């Protein structure tokens, strides 16, 4: 037990220190052309580690992860949990392949985030969070963490990441409506299973 407590304290201290470094990161200032704002949320003992692509412009402006239309769909429709449960640091560690909003790409979507962020920060965070499951959101994050595989298959499979169960979701963005129409069985079949797992992990009856 003493060994477990020492490990937990060590992970907590390391993660807090790492989060402080992330908050000060400005590696991509010149790439973005505007002041980066790293978004960090969660504690080392969060039960679910959720990893997506990058914060949206709304998240960049508010400083609150998934504080946008995608987040509302994720919390209320897919997870069926309250905002309080979602924004509980012991419930979710909310991470991204990149911690900052990367700016707009030509067209409607956001730019893909620089890979340096995951290499510099995310892959150091992951071992320090004592999560029970992973939830991976969006094709970019899915294909980075499961190289050579496509989200159209991953979204319908129970996978493992770092020896823990991993569930892969398409991005809940309104811009992704075509995917939902092409694969209606995802919301009919997979979402109820994932929702049940989230409720079980969080102790929601």
Summarize pLDDT for 35-46 with one digit per residue, the tens. 999 999 999 999
User: How many Cα neighbours within 13 Å face the side chain of 82?
Assistant: 6
Q: In angstroms, rounded to a whole number, what is the distance separating the alpha carbons of residues 163 and 52?
A: 19
- Name all domains of the chain by residue range, CATH numbers in brackets: 2-202 (3.40.470.10)
Distance set, CA 80 to CA 29, 74, 85 (Å) = 37, 8, 10
pLDDT at position 108? 66
Q: pLDDT band at residue 61, thresholds of 50, 70 and 90?
A: very high
Q: For residue range 129-146, list pLDDT tens digits in order.
A: 999 999 999 999 999 999
Read off the tokens for 105: 């790409």
pTM of the model: 0.94
Read off the tokens for 53: 């692509």
Nearest Cα residue to 16 out of 48, 51, 40, 49: 40
Q: For residue range 166-190, list pLDDT tens digits in order.
A: 999 999 998 899 999 999 999 999 9
Q: Span 81-100, mean pLDDT? A: 97
pLDDT at position 1? 54
Nearest Cα residue to 167 out of 176, 158, 175: 158
pLDDT at position 105? 84
The span from the first CA to the last CA of the chain, in angstroms, equals: 30
């Amino acid at each position: 037990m003493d060994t477990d407590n020492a490990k937990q304290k060590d992970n907590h201290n390391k993660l807090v220190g790492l989060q402080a470094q992330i908050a000060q990161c400005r590696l991509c200032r010149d790439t973005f052309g505007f002041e980066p704002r790293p978004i960090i949320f969660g504690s080392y003992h969060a039960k679910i580690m959720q990893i997506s692509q990058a914060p949206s412009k709304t998240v960049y402006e508010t400083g609150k992860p998934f504080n946008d239309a995608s987040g509302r769909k994720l919390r209320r429709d897919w997870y069926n949990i309250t905002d309080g449960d979602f924004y509980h640091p012991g419930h979710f560690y909310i991470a991204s392949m990149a911690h900052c909003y990367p700016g707009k790409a030509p067209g409607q979507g956001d730019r893909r985030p620089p890979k340096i962020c995951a290499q510099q920060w995310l892959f150091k965070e992951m071992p320090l969070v004592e999560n029970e499951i992973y939830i991976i959101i969006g094709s970019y994050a899915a294909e980075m963490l499961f190289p050579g595989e496509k989200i159209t298959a991953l979204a319908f499979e129970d996978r493992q990441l770092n020896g823990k169960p991993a569930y892969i979701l398409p991005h809940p963005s309104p811009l992704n409506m075509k995917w939902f129409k092409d694969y209606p069985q995802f919301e009919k079949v997979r979402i109820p299973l994932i929702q049940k797992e989230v409720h079980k992990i969080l102790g929601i009856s």
